[in-house]
Structure 1
Amino acid sequence: MSTTDTDVGGTITLTDDELDPYVTHAETRHRLTGPGLPCGGSLLGFGVLRDAAPRRVADLVDAIDKLAEELRDQLVIGTLRTYDRDLESIVLDGTTGEIRTTRLDRVPGLTGLAPLAPSLEALLRFAAATEELAAARGEFASLGGRFGPKAVTEASERLSAVFEKGTEGAVPPYWRMAAVIRPLARIAGPGTGLLLDLPPRLLEEEFGSGEIMRFEEVDFPASLTHEPSRRFLRETGLPEDGFMFQLDTEVPLPTLAEYYADERPGDFTDDDLPDDARRLIRLGHLMEDTSLVVDGGTGTVLAWSEPDFTLRPLNADLSTLAFTVWLLHREKSLDATHDLTAAYGQLAATMTQTLATVDPLACDPAPAFPTDDGRRHWPETFADQAGGVLYA
């Protein structure tokens, strides 16, 4: 049985007997029987090894006859993680030491492997570098307190260098997208009153100067008392067509209660609407049946779903809403250059992790209030490959 040293070092180690007969690669055996593997992290999870030796893919699936030959003797050693769940299984080639990923839940349609790292040592180094970038520590400590386009470029170049050195330039898709997407979280530093202070003209440069809608005082209802939100709508504004939402620009901003009373009388009663409908200001819609609203007192951005009569957090505030649509727009440009969507599930996970670095509320499924069911629009939207919002 595997030994789990959670009290000292937080590592998982295996015995030589547990590695026989499938792990013959010397460096891999040394890592697993010596330094071991970390019990967990934000990107990698090795919990499957806590109580059992590595198992072959062929021992874990039922439809062995439909399993690709190259997969049968691969050893399942962990999982590639996204923000709040496991994404793909991490498998080890015991002969070469190469690390790849696969989807065990797709049997009998399981047909292939995706490269992840040339060795366990490289895998752990890549994950550590990515986590250090997010926290601005370790070899990325010099980025602490630095934000804006230059910081993004430097972070991307330095992270790319780590991956290229470990793969002789053949960077696997997961780390390639990490190098170009994860640094985007450093485009904006902390704000005053709102979470982010977006660089001047960030939205204009991304969407076009004529596409940004700014509001005037006359557009605001009395219930919008959150001054940082008022200032953001006046001075920074939002894309009129944010690709994932559409602003209402024809009339002064109504409260949610006023919108239904004036524009769609009879569709919903007061009892159908959220308790705070008179202090929720409707900015527009995410989808035809989902309103984009901002809490007039706190500045929190929420989504009101008509089909299930549910109010859910969308973003912490208007600054992180703007960051989210900017991130989506940038990703589409990067996909056109780097073909990121060839590994769509991994890209969706990277997008969620990047957004969560800036705005945890947008991704955290923990209910924020009693009627919140924990569903989060942006992670679901990123992961919806059929909807394809991440494709260039």
Structure 2
Amino acid sequence: MSTTEAGFPAITLTEAELDRYVTHPPTRGLLGGTGLPAATGLLTFSPLRTHGLRTLADATDAPFRVADELRDRLVIGELLNPAGMDRESILLDGGTGELTTAYLFDPSRPRPRPFASSLATLLRFAAVTEELAGLRGRFASLADRYGPETAAEATRRLLSLFEEGAGGEVPPYWKAAALIRPLALAAGPGTTSGLTLDVPARLLDQEFGHGRVVRFEEVDFPATLTHEPTRRFLRETGLPEAAVLFHADTDVPLPTLREYVTEEGADDSSWGELPPPHADHLIRLGRLIEDHSVVVDGRTGAVLTFTEPDATLHPLNTDVSTLAFTFWLLHHERTIDEHLGNELTTEAYDQLAAAMIHTLSAVDPTGTAPGTDWHYWTEMFQDEAGGVL
């Protein structure tokens, strides 16, 4: 095996290394010629560099509970899932060049899933997905364009490229990428709002329905809500009255966290310590399932969860614009999957969750910020048993 440097490191294999495992001519040509990049933004071939070619049987310490004919598949890489998620391995059939994915050490998820018809196809799929992320190449014309129409156009282009390379049968991983990752374009950067995103009021109205978005008045705000961009957003754009996992506080005026705890928790012995002194500057916007309140810091606009009854605070979103975008993203994902007959949630829930986490992180890195040891959205997206997505 050798590694070459030509802009990006490449992993190549010798004829002797290939002879034992790979008989498919195009695959042999690629692995012995131009080679594979060590990593892309979506996946890594570093296991191939570390271990060389090895079969699924050799890679697992215990019997891998799949059909015997799959035990000769070659483990060549891994999907780069968000931090905290198990990595799914990429398996190569040395005779046909076909690629599948599987979890090597999770007996509850033993079934390999289709991934790509060949290494060349896989590299093309990864390349065009990265073009989308950078709004370059075939997506360059979408640069500086935002809104649901732009997101839909990006999905159409990416899905079309995948269909061309998959004979119309797009594997679940790539279908999730095409349907979910472009949703990051639904709202543009906050050039006028003073927040992370410029979220048009119509975006929420169209998604949740007219009359189902709560917009507040000045008299609804406590004096400690001094962050003007947050006040303006809550007045003009608002939040959905009810969304996946969320119900807004419609009994106005909005209470501070201290007022909420005093009223709701003072007589409940199961509640922990009262919130910190700055609780007067935290304003409750609504509730999430699993005994969490959504609060906004009236001084900075940062959005947090307040966990009941242990009275702990954790970062949730950068501000109310990305909070609203998260509600929109969750609701829109459910609409997409229902249109597909729940194909994504039944065939590739974990891959869908990874795409959702990536999409949210693209506009709001709160969940991946240094020092964030727990993040509500990240945990909920991965909750397959709870059926959040």
- Please, what TM-score do these two structures have when normalized by structure 1? 0.92
Tell me which amino acid in the other structure corresponds to 1:340. Answer: L
Which secondary structure state, in structure 1, belongs to the residue aligned with residue 114 of structure 2? Answer: strand
Q: 1:95 and 1:217 mapped to 2: Cα distance? A: 69
The residue correspondences of 1:247-266 to structure 2 (distance < 5 A) are 247-266=248-267
For structure 1, the 5+ residue unaligned runs are none
Contact 1:42 1:82 in 2 (8 A): no
Residues 281-329 of structure 1: CA deviation (Å, up to 9, x unaligned): 1111112521100111111111112355431111111111111111111
Contact 2:272 2:309 in 1 (8 A): no
Contact 1:13 1:37 in 2 (8 A): yes
Residues 87-108 of structure 1: CA deviation (Å, up to 9, x unaligned): 311100011111110111223x
Contact 1:129 1:159 in 2 (8 A): yes
State yes or no: 1:98 paired with 2:98. yes
Which secondary structure state, in structure 1, belongs to the residue aligned with residue 280 of structure 2? Answer: coil
**Closer/same/farther in 2, CA of residues 272 and 17 from structure 1, 3 Å limit:** farther
Which secondary structure state, in structure 2, belongs to the residue aligned with residue 77 of structure 1? Answer: strand
Structure 1 residue 365: Cα displacement: 5.2
Among the aligned pairs, what percent are the same residue?
Answer: 56
Partner of 1:366: 370
Q: 1:3 and 1:262 mapped to 2: Cα distance? A: 67
Tell me which amino acid in the other structure corresponds to 2:385. Answer: A
Partner of 1:383: 382
Partner of 1:123: 122
- The worse-fitting range, judged by mean Cα deviation, of 289-298 and 307-316 is 307-316
Tell me which amino acid in the other structure corresponds to 2:370. Answer: A
Partner of 2:295: 293
Structure 1 residue 270: Cα displacement: 9.8
Structure 1 residue 274: Cα displacement: 3.5
Contact 1:302 1:312 in 2 (8 A): yes
Structure 1 residue 6: Cα displacement: 5.7
Out of 332, 335, 351, which is 1:333 matched to? 335
Contact 1:80 1:86 in 2 (8 A): no
Contact 1:83 1:352 in 2 (8 A): yes
Structure 1 residue 335: Cα displacement: 0.6
Q: 2:109 and 2:174 mapped to 1: Cα distance? A: 23
Contact 1:23 1:29 in 2 (8 A): yes
**Closer/same/farther in 2, CA of residues 198 and 382 from structure 1, 3 Å limit:** same
The residue correspondences of 1:120-159 to structure 2 (distance < 5 A) are 120-159=119-158
Contact 1:187 1:199 in 2 (8 A): no
Contact 1:184 1:327 in 2 (8 A): yes
**Closer/same/farther in 2, CA of residues 5 and 303 from structure 1, 3 Å limit:** farther
Q: 2:195 and 2:90 mapped to 1: Cα distance? A: 39
Q: 2:31 and 2:211 mapped to 1: Cα distance? A: 57
Contact 1:6 1:39 in 2 (8 A): no
Q: 1:274 and 1:105 mapped to 2: Cα distance? A: 43
Contact 2:201 2:236 in 1 (8 A): no
Structure 1 residue 8: Cα displacement: 5.3
Contact 1:71 1:112 in 2 (8 A): no
Structure 1 residue 21: Cα displacement: 1.1
- Please, what TM-score do these two structures have when normalized by structure 2? 0.93
Note the aligned Cα RMSD (angstroms).
Answer: 2.0
Q: 1:270 and 1:256 mapped to 2: Cα distance? A: 14
Residues matched between the structures, number: 382
Partner of 1:348: 353
Q: 1:285 and 1:177 mapped to 2: Cα distance? A: 29
Q: 2:375 and 2:91 mapped to 1: Cα distance? A: 30
- The worse-fitting range, judged by mean Cα deviation, of 18-27 and 264-273 is 264-273
Residues 201-221 of structure 1: CA deviation (Å, up to 9, x unaligned): 111111111211111111111
**Closer/same/farther in 2, CA of residues 243 and 270 from structure 1, 3 Å limit:** closer
Q: 2:304 and 2:147 mapped to 1: Cα distance? A: 27
Which secondary structure state, in structure 2, belongs to the residue aligned with residue 176 of structure 1? Answer: helix
Q: 1:180 and 1:31 mapped to 2: Cα distance? A: 30
Partner of 1:89: 89
Partner of 2:113: 114
Tell me which amino acid in the other structure corresponds to 2:188. Answer: G
Query: After the TM superposition, which segments of 4 or more aligned residues of structure 1 sit over 6 Å from their partners?
Result: none
Structure 1 residue 33: Cα displacement: 1.9
The residue correspondences of 1:230-241 to structure 2 (distance < 5 A) are 230-241=231-242
Which secondary structure state, in structure 2, belongs to the residue aligned with residue 302 of structure 1? Answer: strand
For structure 2, the 5+ residue unaligned runs are none
Tell me which amino acid in the other structure corresponds to 1:289. Answer: D
Structure 1 residue 110: Cα displacement: 5.5
